[in-house]
Copies of this chain bind each other. A is one copy, B any other.
């Protein structure tokens, strides 16, 4: 509503909440979760007509901590804080924003590290594989709990975008707008290949113990570190990496001629890998990459994406970034084409941005301007 950036503010202090569900959830793969928790946060107020709720879906390594900060740690700012807040493109003075964690996560929702009620021990390798469809089904339970019959919008980038798209297919009548950013309708063989290498790095780590490492007092840190390094390369464009790190050597006098850190990019990747391995759960990583690999809404329609999206009732905004080589603009265009062919209402913005896949996290003016305009146009 307010386009003056000077008028924007943080949502401020927030707290992580948790909703518990006792009705069993049958998963796409056939397994049944007897009960589960979903971690979430909310910002803003649900209006009297309950028409202003926006669901924010997160990607691989983020969480339901979308905006604001926790008590005692002002630096632990939500991952999409530049988008969500008073006066920001997704304006919390107007919308009631729900950040939902997904099932199988290691950030508060029920996942592999949770206690399996059947054994009294962590699920570990026995935690079932969960899919994008399962995540959306669990989020629908959360919506019920919060008294949200219909979301004004579901929004997400990357894996989050798949959830936003799937909302329009699993619950067509429960979402009015879907904002699908840096997405793909299904992973390519190359995408799957990168995921598979990451999984193999984790599963061949001697500390993996077949996924039952919680009892062993170890975590497959080496494998997780490699997995994160691989992932990170695919999040950045070649140009962005060259711009940021170039071939800059750490040693002032030339290469070291050993295997310690020569180039800044090596230092950066090792740092990112170590950090990730210190907090992320390996069993979760394995399951999320599988959820990515499996997602393919057109599969049940003989590969016809237009047929797959025919049941959607939402209007769509699709956003892609020119330098994204993980999920390239071509993949977003496939989604747009299918939506057009299915006679859906669709807007498409291709943002000329250098950052690669991670551009969806940046606050590029054209990108955020498009999101602001779109949210402003949603009637409540």
Contact = CB atoms under 8 A, between A and B. Distances in A.
- Give the number of times this chain occurs in the complex, counting copies: 2
Interface stretch (A4-12, A17-25, A144-152, A255-263): A255-263
B241 A193 contact: yes
Contacts of A296: 247
A293 interface: yes
A246 B199 contact: no
A129 B222 contact: no
Interface string A243-257: 011110000000101
Contacts of A197: 226, 229-230, 233, 269
Chain B CB within 10 Å, residue with most, of A128, A206, A233: A233
Contacts of A259: 199, 203, 286, 290
B201 A201 contact: yes
Chain B CB within 10 Å, residue with most, of A189, A192, A258: A189
B269 A193 contact: yes
B225 A186 contact: no
B29 A241 contact: no
Contacts of A270: 196, 200
B233 A265 contact: no
A276 interface: no
A350 interface: no
A108 interface: no
A257 B188 contact: no
A276 to B, nearest CB: 13
A266 B192 contact: yes
A85 interface: no
A132 to B, nearest CB: 13
Interface string A284-301: 001000100110100000
Interface string A14-37: 000000000000000111000000
A187 interface: yes
A358 to B, nearest CB: 14
B189 A244 contact: yes
B242 A225 contact: no
B293 A193 contact: no
A192 B290 CA distance: 27
A247 B204 contact: no
A247 B189 contact: yes
Given A189-B241, A225-B204, A246-B189, A196 B266 contact: yes
Contacts of A325: 325
B257 A30 contact: yes
B293 A262 contact: yes
18 contacts: A30-B257, A129-B257, A187-B247, A189-B238, A189-B241, A192-B265, A192-B266, A193-B229, A193-B265, A196-B263, A196-B265, A196-B266, A197-B226, A197-B233, A200-B273, A204-B222, A259-B286, A262-B294
